[in-house]
Structure 1
Amino acid sequence: MSNFFALNSITTGRGWSVNVTGYTNALRKLVCCLFMLFFSTAYAFSQQKLATGEHFADVNGVKLHYYVSGKGPVCLAPSPGWGAHVDYMRSLTPFEKHFTMVYYDTRKSGLSSGPDDPTKYTDQDFMNDMDSLRTYLGLSKVWLTGHSGGGYQVLNYGSLYNDHVNGIIALDAMARYDSLHHAEMMKVINETKNGPEFEKAKAAFFGKDTVKRTMDEFLEVILPLYFTNTQIIRTIPKLKVSDKAYAYTRASNIFKSKNLLDDLHNIKVPVLVIVGDGDFICGVESEAKRIHAHIPTSRLVIVKNAGHLPWIEQPKEFYKAFEQWAKEQHI
């Protein structure tokens, strides 16, 4: 019979038939509804994870602490990795006009947890955390912003997982710690850090004093080296540093064990490389220009009269360059 299939009941012996077409259509509708319900629930859940405010993500056996702020495509912004809290990165508020910024503390930094095992703070551990956070947030692709050691992380991630990245903003980033890096650091210090406000900072940085300090205290003493105008330090909040994170990352030799320059050609997405012309720790010649030279899709911006944090020292010039680049990326 057309569109019907006759069956016999085993218990009664009676003949009965089932409308296969109607049954199939109903089943399809049910599957479709369940499919839509699943993905709408998953979407709603992912949106909760990206609601404005403070959150924690359980990934790789650690709780990553993160803040969400802004509107637009998601941009992950890790802390530098060696212990500094991510709070200072939240001063990049103009970015939030273009992105939903996700500022997160890397393992053991800030309010994030982390294993008490220095072997668990390698380059790959930080890459796994970044990729797991992307997955946790339900995103196939993200933008990335990183400063200093955070810049190292986002460039490293881009070279390994280019297909999961929309674009990268590398702020005073590092890619290779070598003799060229060290030579430029010493040159900048010797030529530009000679006022009385730098003497105590240089003595602490080069280990010439014997004062025992926490990392918070040490960073406060050496902070003048990071600026061309030391007066601006009075206007910014004190940076917080996790002593354990610093000890563990130092023991794992992160930032020094890998030459990122060899892999940067794998990055095919747009990259904005910004550096202060007076940065002593991630210099123009040894870091920014070499990074730019190894990424064909990159643009280099050198901010004049700025040190390691150009968006704080020269916000007008810094954000003008960023806004122009962001407009070209249609974000």
Structure 2
Amino acid sequence: MQRILSRTTLIVLVLFIHQIAYAQNKLAKGAHFANVNGIKIHYYVSGSGPVCLMPTPGWGPSINYLKNSLNPFEKYFTMVYYDTRGSGKSDAPSDFKQYTSKHFMDDMEALRIYLKQPKVWIMGHSMGGFQVLNYGIHHNDKLKGIIAIAAMAGNDKLYQQEFQKMLMKRKDQPYYQKGIKVLMDRDTTIKSMSAGMPYIMPFYFHDVNKVADFVKLGDPELSDLAYENTSKARFGTEYLFTQLKKISVPTLVVVGDDDFICDQVSQADRIAKNISSATEIVIKDAGHFSWIEQPQQFFTDCISWLKKQRLKSSK
């Protein structure tokens, strides 16, 4: 009986060790592919600490600008940057109906399960911020915390007012006349988002000279197919403000004070107000990419908050 019990215990132990090793292999540093929800999702692992999932914005850019610039977070997290469906190296379903906000949320949940993580941190920028807030609303119990950078949570009258104010602040800039036509889809010579982006990018920065720093981060690999399909599917158009109270985990809301597209007044302030566990950080003299324009203030303030959550640096 003792021998049988020992053999059984040994088999269970071996299977347990194998399971742990398999899970760890999925989180080995470098590039991976996960088969989830009928598609292959490309993800990249770097850093150490609790797992933090970070999706791309969803409408087209790849992980390059994220994984090549947010490295200070890797001292506190095992960062899992991933290309959302249709972007970067991930599979791109041809049917636009597979690009709804729910599809993106379900992919995040499936990736968490694939990585065998009972609970995770999640971080998102721009429409990636929308994704993590939407996930938090529906899966708060699967989370340790949320970091929402320049996040979008709803388009309403206040948003349109702030958007117009931010545009008017830029009306005397040399890029404005051409850029506004492209931004408002009034330039018939521009046939795709990837072709129009160089004219639009200056709007995203407080200091237009910082666009060069963004370019150094690598090819954003914009997917026109993802842009078209997410637009048709109305991805990211849900009004989240009224549901944010469902989030109770520690949440950090970060915004640049000169962000023209996901501004402080209509977005960040209201996101933080509607989440009882939220802390808001405003980065001065920064636009949509606040950590690129003001890296010292951004990372100092964010890391200070992480330490308050009892997260420890691995270096």
TM-score by length of 2: 0.95
Identical pairs, percent: 44
SS at match of 2:40: strand
Deviation for aligned residue 1:200: 1.8
1:286 and 2:250 matched: no
Structure 1 residues 154 and 235: alpha-carbon distance in aligned structure 2, compared to 1, 3 A threshold: same
Which stretch of structure 1 is more off in the superposition, 32-41 or 90-99? Answer: 32-41
Q: Pick one of 13, 21, 33 that aligns with 1:36.
A: 13
Q: Pick one of 299, 302, 307 that aligns with 1:322.
A: 302
The corresponding residue for 2:51 is 74
Contact 1:193 1:225 in 2 (8 A): no
Following superposition of structure 1 onto structure 2, how do residues 52-201 of structure 1 map, counting pairs within 5 Å? 52-90=29-67, 91-201=69-179
Alignment-mate amino acid for residue 68 of structure 1? V
Where structure 1 has 5 or more consecutive residues not aligned to the other structure, the ranges are 1-22
Q: Pick one of 221, 225, 233 that aligns with 1:240.
A: 221
The corresponding residue for 1:26 is 3
Alignment-mate amino acid for residue 151 of structure 2? A
2 CA distance for matches of 1:56 and 1:243? Answer: 22
1 CA distance for matches of 2:14 and 2:155? Answer: 51
SS at match of 1:301: strand
1 CA distance for matches of 2:252 and 2:57? Answer: 18
Give the aligned length.
Answer: 307
SS at match of 1:330: coil
Deviation for aligned residue 1:31: 2.7
Following superposition of structure 1 onto structure 2, how do residues 2-21 of structure 1 map, counting pairs within 5 Å? none
The corresponding residue for 1:6 is none
TM-score by length of 1: 0.90
2 CA distance for matches of 1:35 and 1:264? Answer: 43
The corresponding residue for 1:12 is none
1 CA distance for matches of 2:213 and 2:299? Answer: 19
Deviation for aligned residue 1:84: 1.3
Q: Which has the larger radius of gyration?
A: 1
1:212 and 2:190 matched: yes
Deviation for aligned residue 1:210: 1.7
The corresponding residue for 2:246 is 266
2 CA distance for matches of 1:98 and 1:193? Answer: 41
Contact 2:148 2:251 in 1 (8 A): yes
Contact 1:172 1:288 in 2 (8 A): yes
Deviation for aligned residue 1:193: 4.4
SS at match of 1:268: coil
Deviation for aligned residue 1:26: 3.1
Deviation for aligned residue 1:33: 1.8
Where structure 2 has 5 or more consecutive residues not aligned to the other structure, the ranges are none
Instruction: Quote the RMSD (CA, aligned, Å).
Output: 1.2
